[in-house]
Amino acid sequence: MKIIQPQREYTHSYYLTAARCNAQSELSVAKLAQQVIETATTHANNLGVGYERLIRDGYAWVLSRLTFEMARYPHMHEHYTLTTWIEGFNRHFSERNFVVASESGETLGHVRSVWVAIDIASRRPANLDGITNLADSISSRKCPITPQSKLHPVSSPSTTCRYIFDASDIDFNRHVNTVRYIELMTNSMPLQTYDSHYISRFEIAFSHEAHYGEEAAIKAAHTTDSTDPITVHTEISDSGKTFCIAKFLLKTR
């Protein structure tokens, strides 16, 4: 019998159309997060540890932490790739890394992510001891960026706005999707700031699920525009429940 070795690294190719660009003709942080999720999902499925395998036990993967560090973002009409690999795992979560590269091989940035398996019925962490092939899928490849720092709630916000989650914010797990959280957080800075600065590092940690019809406060605190980089702390929460916390750095273009 032929033994098939696990594909420890997986590369997905992308082309940035005008429809996927932000106002600066680049890939946005939120769209990059979406493509990270797409690439991770395909690789997990290829390894036999994706949705179809976990759902047999009533489990599902949920993104817990995400950290980007980018030298630059793909430009409009540019071909680029995301390559992903598993750094490690235990009975409750998996650490997965990525490198973003141009068609010519230029490294544009790196991504670290942490995925938690949850029991769909109880919404509590699941036990992955039965998924034995995860151990054969770990890559020795290193990720050069610093792991996510400890993120703290925003105690003295510069701005606060309220938002009610609607139908377009909800994914198949029936909770608010990652992309919507990131869009709301990055909207805490004006368009003019993104014309002169780009997000060089973005960190987000998820704490609780938000659902359709829930109202939340989006809080942000940032250093003055005269500093470089500008540091922005953001939080989405309501009634003592924090949905997610993020921190990002804006460097001059």
Token reading at 237: 């929460």
Mean pLDDT calculated for residue range 183-188: 96
The most confident of the ranges 37-46, 69-78, 219-228 is 69-78
Structure confidence at residue 227 (pLDDT): 78
- What are the pLDDT digits (tens) for 191-227? 999 999 999 999 999 999 999 999 999 999 998 777 7
Structure confidence at residue 65 (pLDDT): 96
Which residue has better confidence, 49 or 170? 170
Helix (H) or strand (E) holding 30: helix 29-47
Structure confidence at residue 2 (pLDDT): 38
Tell me what the pLDDT averaged over the chain comes to: 90
Report percent pLDDT > 70 for the chain: 95
3-state secondary structure at position 184: helix
Sheet containing strand 79-89, strands side by side: 9-15, 79-89, 93-102, 107-119, 59-70, 197-206, 241-252, 230-238, 215-222, 159-164
Q: If you count them, how many residues does the chain have?
A: 253
Q: Which residues share a beta bridge with 221?
A: 233
- What are the pLDDT digits (tens) for 110-162? 999 999 888 877 888 777 776 656 677 888 899 999 999 999 999 899 999 99
CA distance 23 to 76: 11
pTM over cut 0.85: yes
Structure confidence at residue 3 (pLDDT): 38
Please provide the distance, in angstroms rounded to a whole number, between the alpha carbons at the two ends of the chain. Answer: 56
| 84 contacts 98 by C-beta, under 8 angstroms | yes
- Would you say residue 176 has pLDDT above 90? yes
* Cα four-point dihedral sign 106, 109, 112, 113: negative
Structure confidence at residue 136 (pLDDT): 74
